[in-house]
Each structure stands twice: as C-alpha cells, then as structure tokens.
C-alpha cells in the first residue's frame, strides 16, 4: 500500500472493485466451479451434488429504514434476498446463517419480531437457520445473511450461457418494489413534518406496492417448476438492481446482445396507478427499479413453448440478437429504438446486489 495516495472508491465503482478483488487470483481451485462474480459461488461436492454459497449485508440507513420497515418484514426480506441469489443459479436454498450487529436501542421484543420474520421466510422456503453471530454496534443495525444451496452439477445455470435466438424471460412484474419505497418515503416525509410520535400511515390504497417493497418473495417456485418440467434455462440472474442493469450484466457475461420490447415488460396495473399518482415516468420503475427479486432468464424458443403451458407467471420480453456484446436495444411504445450499453441508472432503492 502506498500510504501517500488516496483513491476514492467511486473512482472504480462497485463492479470495478469486484473485478479488482477477482484479480487477486484467490478463487482458483479445481473444485471451484464459479468463484467471485455470479449470483452465488459454486463448489463441487460429489458427482451428484454441488454446493452454492452466497452472502449479503444490509445496513440500517443504507439498505433499510426502520421508521417504515417493521422488523418482522425485515427478517423475512433479508432471508428472501439472500436466497434469491441461490435461486438465480437454478438451485434451491437449504441453509441460512444470520449475523446481527446490534445497537443498544434494539430490544428483545424487536429481536423476537425480526426472528419471527426469519422463521416465516424459512418456513415458506423450506430452509433452516443453522447459525450466525451476534455482535454490538455503536451506530446502525447491521445484518448479514449467508445462504447455502445445493443442485445437481448439470442443473446449475450461470450468467454466461445465453445463446443467440434465445428468448428473454422475466417472472412476475417489475417496478413495484420501487413504487412501494417511494410511497413509504412520501409518508415518512409527511410524518416528519407532522410532529407525531409514531409513524402510522394508512397504506390501504398502496398495499400491493408496499408489500412488494417490504415483503418480496424469491422465486423458488420457478426453480421447482423448471425442475419438474425438465426445462433448463441457458442463463439466469435475479432482478435486485433493476432490469436494464441486470440485462446488461447478463449480456456482458454471456458476450451476447439482446433486443427487448418495452410494451412486453410486465408491470402491474397497481404499480402503474401509483406511478401515475406520483406523476412520475413509468420507465424509471419498470427499467431501473430494484429489489423486485424476480428472475430474468433465457430459454431456447422451443423451451418457451413447452414451459409456458406449465408455468404461468413469466413473460417473454425480447430475444438475443447478433450485435455488440453487452448491448441491450429496446423498442419503446412509440416504435423508437433505445440502446443501453452502460451500467445504466442504479435506481433509488439502495438495492444491495449479489457478489
């Protein structure tokens, strides 16, 4: 280390920093199938089963805001977010560990609420909590979730395998989590100026989007359906940081390009309503909104036809085409072509992405 220089991390960015860590050459081993750089790491177990490992940290004030995030929702969300990275490799999560860095103001009742959420998510995902760590904190509440999964070696899907002609598929609908965050932030602002002691907004009209923000569900149902119907995606990634950013990441990793139709991007009418009320541009939500935790995957055309009969909650938004690797071209509702070939806007959600 040259102690005389100080280069800010912004200079390099998060992706640049991950590249730099990769270049340490620390992930070379004949049992490491995927090291740093995909949603989860994959290591060889025996001939029939590989292990997948992922870990994700969440910091109060950066990744979540306790003024409007109930602790039982937070407990469930962090488990879902970490397990989403295992699902994004076409594997099912099995075990989680949770570390908490606890400031004094956290009470036993708050801990109980948090773990009630953890327990609910574990039950929903049929996974187990096997350990963790507790430490003190002078400031923010810190949470780290580590998830381990398993899958047969030939089932694991990375970001690298998309082929020309493949269809680009997305589960669920997009932009809802960001719309929910915007509503919660608006209510917080209102509450802060009201002088009331406790924030108790009436969110009845916004239930869908608020739920998308506070209680996302990782798409293990897709993984189970793919397994059941013997469909193998060629590549996959989870949508924690917004569609455009994750599509570019997928195309770069696969060294391919794609063409998508804006009109095909799934957005719930309930999200659309909220965005209209906020008088904002829907694009900012559907293209750049993070934390939806839906899955983005590629399938050969014949796979789409077969799978669409079995699993209803996905749509095709475009396909892979011959073009500059990493480029994403979108035809918008007016028929105009837009090309994204940079990391795009990161969205405003504080989304905490995969490794």
CA distance 117 to 216: 12
Site for a copy of itself in 241-260 (CB under 8 A): none
* Residue 237, both tokens: 């990634």
Q: In angstroms, what is the minimal distance from the CB of 337 to a copy of itself?
A: 34
Site for a copy of itself in 265-304 (CB under 8 A): none
Q: In angstroms, what is the minimal distance from the CB of 320 to a copy of itself?
A: 27
Tokens 């909104």: give the residue. 289
Q: In angstroms, what is the minimal distance from the CB of 146 to a copy of itself?
A: 5
CA distance 176 to 126: 26
Q: Which of 93, 142, 149, 233 binds a copy of itself (CB under 8 A)?
A: 142
CA distance 187 to 204: 13
Residue 167 as a binder of a copy of itself (CB under 8 A): the answer is no
In whole angstroms, what separates CA 165 from the centre of its chain? 25
Tell me whether residue 21 or residue 333 sits nearer to a copy of itself (CB atom): 21
Tell me whether residue 331 or residue 355 sits nearer to a copy of itself (CB atom): 355
Other C-beta atoms within 10 Å of 213: how many? 25
Site for a copy of itself in 102-131 (CB under 8 A): 102, 104, 106-113, 115-116, 118-119, 122, 128-131
CA distance 113 to 110: 5
Total residue count of the chain as it appears in this document: 355
Q: In angstroms, what is the minimal distance from the CB of 154 to a copy of itself?
A: 17
Other C-beta atoms within 10 Å of 155: how many? 17
Site for a copy of itself in 318-347 (CB under 8 A): none
Tokens 């306790």: give the residue. 66
Q: In angstroms, what is the minimal distance from the CB of 29 to a copy of itself?
A: 5
Q: In angstroms, what is the minimal distance from the CB of 290 to a copy of itself?
A: 13
CA distance 128 to 121: 10
Q: In angstroms, what is the minimal distance from the CB of 261 to a copy of itself?
A: 33
Residue 159 as a binder of a copy of itself (CB under 8 A): the answer is no
How many Å is the Cα radius of gyration of the chain? 20
Write the burial class of residue 274 (CB in 10 Å: 0-12 exposed, 13-18 middle, 19+ buried). buried
Tell me whether residue 136 or residue 335 sits nearer to a copy of itself (CB atom): 136
The piece of 4-12, 167-175, 224-232, 324-332 that touches a copy of itself (CB under 8 A) is 4-12
Residue 309 as a binder of a copy of itself (CB under 8 A): the answer is no
Residues 276 and 182: beta-carbon distance below 8 Å: no
The SS3 of residue 111 is helix
Query: Residues 51-90 vs a copy of itself: string with x where CB under 8 A?
Result: x-xxxxxxx-xxx-------xx------------------
Residue 35 as a binder of a copy of itself (CB under 8 A): the answer is yes
Q: In angstroms, what is the minimal distance from the CB of 55 to a copy of itself?
A: 5
CA distance 325 to 262: 20
Tell me whether residue 112 or residue 228 sits nearer to a copy of itself (CB atom): 112
């Amino acid at each position: 280390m040259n102690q005389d220089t100080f280069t800010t991390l912004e200079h390099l960015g998060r992706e640049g920093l991950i590249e730099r860590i990769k270049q340490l050459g620390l992930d070379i081993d004949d049992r490491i199938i995927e090291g740093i750089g995909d949603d989860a790491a994959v290591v060889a177990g025996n001939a029939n089963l590989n292990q997948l490992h992922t870990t994700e940290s969440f910091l109060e004030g950066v990744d979540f805001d306790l003024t409007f995030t109930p602790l039982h929702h937070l407990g469930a969300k962090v488990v879902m977010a970490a397990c989403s990275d295992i699902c994004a490799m076409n594997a099912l999560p099995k075990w989680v560990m949770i570390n908490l860095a606890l400031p004094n103001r956290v009470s036993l009742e708050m801990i109980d609420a948090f773990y009630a959420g953890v327990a609910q998510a574990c039950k929903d995902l049929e996974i187990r909590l096997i350990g963790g760590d507790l430490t003190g904190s002078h400031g923010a509440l810190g949470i780290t979730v580590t998830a381990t999964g398993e899958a047969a070696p030939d089932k694991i899907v990375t970001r690298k395998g998309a082929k020309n002609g493949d269809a680009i598929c997305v589960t669920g609908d997009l932009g809802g989590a960001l719309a929910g965050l915007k509503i919660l932030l608006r209510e917080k602002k209102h509450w802060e100026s009201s002088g009331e002691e406790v924030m108790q907004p009436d969110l009845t009209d916004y239930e869908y989007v608020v739920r998308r923000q506070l209680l996302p569900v990782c798409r293990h149902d897709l993984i189970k359906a793919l397994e059941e119907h013997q469909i193998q995606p060629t590549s996959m990634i989870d949508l924690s940081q917004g569609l455009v950013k994750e599509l570019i990441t997928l195309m770069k990793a696969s060294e391919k390009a794609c063409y998508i139709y804006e009109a095909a991007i799934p957005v719930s009418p309930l999200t659309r309503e909220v965005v209209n009320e906020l008088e904002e541009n829907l694009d900012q939500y559907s293209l750049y909104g993070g934390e939806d935790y839906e899955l983005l995957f590629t399938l050969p055309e014949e796979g789409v036809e077969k799978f669409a009969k079995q699993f209803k909650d996905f749509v095709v938004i475009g396909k892979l085409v011959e073009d500059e690797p990493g480029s994403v071209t979108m035809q918008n509702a007016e028929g105009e072509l837009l090309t994204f070939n940079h990391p795009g806007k990161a969205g405003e959600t504080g989304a905490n992405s995969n490794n």
